[in-house]
Amino acid sequence: MKTIFIAFDQAHYDHIIEMLERSNCRGFTSWQDVRGRGSVDGEPHYGSHAWPSESCAILTVVEDSRVATVLGKLRELDAERPKLGLRAFVWNVEEMI
């Protein structure tokens, strides 16, 4: 099993939820009103007057075989609207109950 952490502009939320459903990734946890800034060239998402946009985050645990599909679809979504910002990080799940 793998964990995928996805941080993205709030405008992507519905698209990412639909993509997870179509990819048979049922379980996830999401956070709204996440604030931050990309490490390379991303615009700040601070929810402030100067930087009004905000981000969201989703954490999902999926079978190893689904990771490439999910990341591929996230790359496509990011390529469609690169200025919005979207990043995904994958790590191993050591244990589950």
Q: Is the residue at 74 inside a domain? A: yes
Query: Over pLDDT 90: what percentage of the chain?
Result: 69
pTM score of the predicted model: 0.90
pLDDT digits (tens, 9 = 90+) for 31-58: 998 888 777 777 777 778 887 788 899 9
Q: Is the residue at 67 inside a domain? A: yes
Domain that holds residue 78: 1-8+63-82
Separation CA 95–CA 91 (nearest Å): 12
Q: Is the residue at 54 inside a domain? A: no
Q: Is the residue at 70 inside a domain? A: yes
User: What strand order describes the sheet that includes 55-62?
Assistant: 29-34, 55-62, 2-9, 86-92
